[in-house]
A and B are shown apart, each in its own frame.
Chain A
Amino acid sequence: MKKMKMTKTAKNNFVTYFIVLIAYILVQILLKSGHMSSLMEGLLVPLCIYVMLAVSLNLTVGILGELSLGHAGFMCVGAFSGAFFSKCMDGAMPDGIRFFIALLIGAAVAGVFGIVIGIPVLRLKGDYLAIVTLAFGEIIKNLVNVLYIGKDNNGFHFSMKDSISLHLGEEGQVIVNGAQGITGTPHDASFTAGVLLIFISLFIILNLINSRDGRAIMSIRDNRIAAESTGINITKYKLMAFSISAAIAGVAGVLYAHNLSTLTALPKNFGYNMSIMILVFVVLGGIGNIRGSIISAVILTLLPELLRGLSDYRMLIYAIVLIAMMLFNWSPKAIEWKDKLKEKYFSKIPFRKEKEVK
């Protein structure tokens, strides 16, 4: 009995990893054989970023069951802290190591923000939590836009006014220049690095879900009062899920920052539109369904680009696809049909059989 259950989740996770791997190999083949347009090539790293954001938001929305609309805020925090580090350390250490440390810093800073924001915010529920996280995302974006940091021989200088009030020395250098952001971030991001990070995020999230901590998190989602009287520390596990989710969004942000030469906090990339778009990925892929998040993030990112030729009809078709995906994922009839299909075609796979034998 017990063995069967373990093989079932293990199989599910395996399929998820496998899909990512196959997609990676396919893209590599296309790249090597020169069948990929430069437009598509440019989309590869953003794809990885969106997948990571969707997967991490699903931890908050699907597994913890709290609606967060400030996910882009954590991405923004990660992006700026990672880019700041890379800019400071440019040339001081090998590229690979610097990028790796930048990723760690992005994750750590976003994770700490997750905890700091989470302590007051996670006392709220439902709509209220959504509103406050939405505000947080906007505040972060606006704060970054008035932040000036420079470096000279005397160390770092901070200002919230303008770059002149930093009072830098002769050889001083402005690193974060307010609304102009950070320019000249080394271009360390690559598709391979992105896929690797997706694997690491998946590994962390899937293993977390199927562990003691994950069960505690999901028990809070299913019934907070019962979880509390069963001895689950609500605050601890809410914060754990929220900060891990924020940390992975931070890593996605670092990847984003190292894919561009100029990093600025605009409504387009770190505003609430972005947060909502990530939420759309999660909802359409299925709340709590990690694999679904990956697939819907990929489809919904590629779709507008693929439909570029249709010009005006592009957003119309995009909307229709949104509706179709929602029906496919959520309507009872469609779920029934999918289950039937699964029974028919996948019942012959050996470890599936073990389940039926019991």
Chain B
Amino acid sequence: MSLLEVKNLTISFGGLRAVDDFNIDIKRGQLYGLIGPNGAGKTTVFNLLTGVYKPDEGIIKLEDKDITGLKTIDINKAGIARTFQNIRLFKDLTVLDNVKVGLHNHYRYSTIEGIFRLPKYYKVEKAMDERAMELLKVFELDGEADYLASNLPYGKQRKLEIARALATEPRLLLLDEPAAGMNPNETGELMDTIRFVRDKFDMTILLIEHDMKLVSGICEALTVLNFGRILAQGQTSTVLNDPQVITAYLGE
């Protein structure tokens, strides 16, 4: 059954059709890759899916529910979480608090209970701490829970962003160039992490990536974008051997 179904998604900025007639169908539990040369419109697709931009045309369906045109926050509540190409952590909060912000909508107590430190505050905060530490452990960040997020090394910041996204309990996780700026060792580690997240959290993942080793290593299906249009779509091995795709990447 498809988890995310996008039909005819289109957006223009001025005269430029940044994304033109974009279609995608992602099955539950799939690891799906979105690739393409720079400026092809990949991040714009992410911004459309997460409600940062409103599409001019097209329908976005998550589990058969129409989420087209919803606000970012409501799309997150509907079950899509994302990371960013340029890392966007809450840099002056601790690592633990970053994840706890992700848990915000799933663990509740009122402002009054928070200010007056009523029993529910302690109970819920304890549950949040435990859940956050669980998530941090998955990414081997539990030792740094007390650090400020900005003090983490680059690779760990990427991981923390994924942990924070997972804390919102999404059904679809969007990763925007998770391996950007990583060395081959870190990339290898990241591939394991992504696979692990998919299996452990039963997650469906759509990722943008330039690192072909990562893409061919973990993605089960691919969509290639070029100048805002779909160039090729399908099984990873088939797509990567498509002459059109090779041309787009390497030139004639």
Q: Which A residues fall within an 8 A CB radius of B?
A: 1-2, 4-5, 203-204, 207-208, 211-216, 218-219, 221-223, 225-234, 240, 288
Answer yes or no: B108 CB below 8 A from chain A CBs: yes
Residues of B within 8 Å of A207, CB to CB, are 114-117
Cβ 8 A contact of A211, one of B52, B72, B114, B146: B114
Cβ contact within 8 Å between A211 and B73: no
Give the contacting residue for A229; candidates B50, B90, B91, B128; CB below 8 A: B50
Candidates A204, A225, A233, A234; contact of B115 at CB < 8 Å:
A204
Can you spell out 10 A-B residue pairs with CB atoms less than 8 angstroms apart? A5-B146, A204-B115, A208-B114, A211-B111, A215-B104, A229-B52, A229-B73, A230-B165, A230-B167, A234-B73
For the complex, what is the distance from the CA of A222 to the CA of B88, rounded to whole Å? Answer: 9
**Count of chain A to chain B residue pairs whose CB atoms are closer than 8 Å in the complex:** 107
> Are A2 and B129 CB-contacts (below 8 A) given A211-B114, A219-B90, A229-B72?
yes
Report the stretch among B33-41, B74-82, B200-208, B229-237 that lies at the interface.
B74-82
Shortest Cβ-Cβ A-B pairs, 8 listed: A211-B114, A222-B90, A226-B88, A231-B76, A219-B101, A2-B129, A228-B72, A219-B90
A81 CB to nearest B CB, Å: 23
Indicate whether B107 reaches chain A with its CB closer than 8 angstroms: yes
Contact indicator A231/B77 (Cβ below 8 Å): yes
Contact between chains at A229 and B81 (CB < 8 Å): yes
Interface assignment of B214: CB less than 8 Å from any CB of chain A: no
For the complex formed, measure the closest distance between the CB of B105 and the CB atoms of chain A, giving whole angstroms: 5
Among residues of A, the one whose C-beta sits closest to the C-beta of B121 is: A211
Interface size on B, residues (CB 8 A): 45
**Are B121 and A222 in contact, with the CB atoms below 8 A?**
no
Contact A212 B84 (CB under 8 A): no
Alpha-carbon gap, A211 to B128, bound state (A): 11
> Are the C-beta atoms of A229 and B93 separated by less than 8 Å?
no
- Whether the Cβ atoms of B93 and A219 lie closer than 8 Å is yes
A1 touches B114 (CB 8 A): no
Tell me, yes or no, whether B102 is within 8 Å of chain A by CB: yes
